[in-house]
Every structure is written in C-alpha cells, then in structure tokens.
Amino acid sequence: MLNGLFIGLSVLFVISVIVFLVERLKECSVKATVLKATSSLFFVILACVAILIKPENADYGMMFIIGMVLCTIGDIWLDLKYVHKEYDEQYTFIGISSFMVSHIFYLIGILLAYPEFIGWQVALAIFSALSVSVVERLISKKTGFEYGKFKTLTFVYSIVIMLTVTFALNAVNAFGWLPVLGGAEMPAVMPRFLCMNMGTVIFALSDLSLSIAFFKKGGNTKVNVVIIHITYYLAQYLLALSILM
C-alpha cells in the first residue's frame, strides 16, 4: 500500500513541477512561488513515506528530510527576490544560507548512512571538495561571474555542496563499483549510495546553473530556468528515493 502511495505521489510530484514551470516561465509571481513551494513539499512528503516503508533508514532519512525542509524555505526566499526586487540582496542571502545549511544535513545523513569512512577517505573527500571549489572560483573570474557581496557566502556554500558530492562518491567507491561494472554481483546497499551520489552530483549541477542565473550577466534565461528546476527536483527525488533502497 505504501509503495503504491510513493508511486502515486511521484506522479503528482512530476505534474506539480510541470505546472510550476509553466507558470514560472510566464512570469515571476507570488502564484509561481506558491506552486514552487507545493512542488518542494512533495519531495518532503515522499521522503517521509520512504521512511515509513523503510523505517530502518530513519536515521539518515530524517537528516535528509530536515535538509529538504530547509531547501523548501530557501526556494521561497529565492523566488520572492524576483517578486520584491527591493529586497533582492536580503532574500538572496537568506535563500543561499538556507540551502547551505540544508547541505550540512545532507552531509550528516550521508555519514550516518555510511559511518565506516576511514581516514584516507575523509581526507580525500575534503581535499577534493576544496580543490573543486578553489578551481571553480578561479575559473569564475575569467568567465564573467560577479558575486559581489556574496563572494564569501557562495564560496563556503560551494565547499559544503562539494563535500556532499565527494563523501557520497567515496561511499559508492567503498563498495567497489568497478567490480560491479565488470559483472560482479552488486552489494544490496549499492543502489542506495548510487541514488545519493547521483542526487548530490545533479544538485551541484543545478546550483551551477543557479549561479549563472544569479551572478552572470544575461544568465537568467528561460532555458536556464528550466535546467535549474529540472535538475533540482530530480536531485531531491533521488535523495528521497535513496531512503527506499
């Protein structure tokens, strides 16, 4: 019964995202913000249903839910910045901060899902996250990004989101994905970490598109708006789905 509920909610989730995008592409309005919040509420509910189906995954699942709630709050603020342009900087700061804290909870969830990380894996994940964030910032200077007052906040945020990516990737690697690709039997928990890893990577791609829209002249195009939201909602769905694995 609960599995059927998850599938049904998944269908409604897709429909709600489509309805939101149609409205959002017409104009930035309070109505579009409400529709966006509704779509975001669906992935929170999906994660809750996933925990009911797999209560043994509630420890990291609850961290994901807290992260998703914070993302929903961030969603609202970042969309309202287009409605109330006089509060652009304040709403942008609150929105990005909400997302940054949400990724801290996602990271905690990943660590709870796979607590067997050893020293070199932790060091590699941290080094990789810092390296990518530094390289991104160096490249951004030459590609027309203007972070302005958000220079420090966006840099810290990039480190946090890359930590979720690198730790999730290290968790997948710990189960030996190369032997699996070579035909070895897949460990039972491998799909869980694959969903987490794909979710975090796609989330990072969504945030890259969001940075283009916010901090690069001419980046806030309709095509980019579609890319931002499709990747964002797909990432959240994969994170919710990982709780079922």
CA distance 49 to 43: 10
C-beta separation of 91 from 80 below 8 A: yes
| Tens-place pLDDT, residues 13-53 | 999 999 999 999 988 788 888 899 899 999 999 999 999 99
For the entire predicted model, the pTM comes to 0.91
Whole-number CA gyration radius for the chain: 18
Q: Which of 233, 244, 212 is nearest to 68 (CA)?
A: 233
The pLDDT score that the predictor gives to residue 176 is 60
CA distance 26 to 31: 11
Q: Which domain holds residue 172?
A: 2-242
| Tens-place pLDDT, residues 118-176 | 777 788 888 888 898 888 888 887 788 888 888 899 999 999 999 999 888 887 776 66
Q: Is residue 227's pLDDT more than 90?
A: yes
For the chain, give the mean pLDDT. 87
The total of structural domains in the chain comes to: 1
CA of 193: how far to CAs of 1, 96, 137, 154, 187, in Å? 25, 26, 28, 27, 11
| Tens-place pLDDT, residues 46-71 | 999 999 999 999 999 999 999 999 99
**Amino acid identity for residue 90 in this structure:** Q
Reported as a pLDDT band with limits 50, 70 and 90, residue 75 is: confident
The pLDDT score that the predictor gives to residue 229 is 94
DSSP lists the bridge partners of residue 216 as 145
CA of 122: how far to CAs of 60, 114, 199, 205, 232, in Å? 18, 12, 20, 23, 26
Most confidently modeled range among 80-89, 93-102, 142-151, 163-172: 93-102
CA distance 172 to 134: 24
User: Quick one: tokens of 232?
Assistant: 């964002």
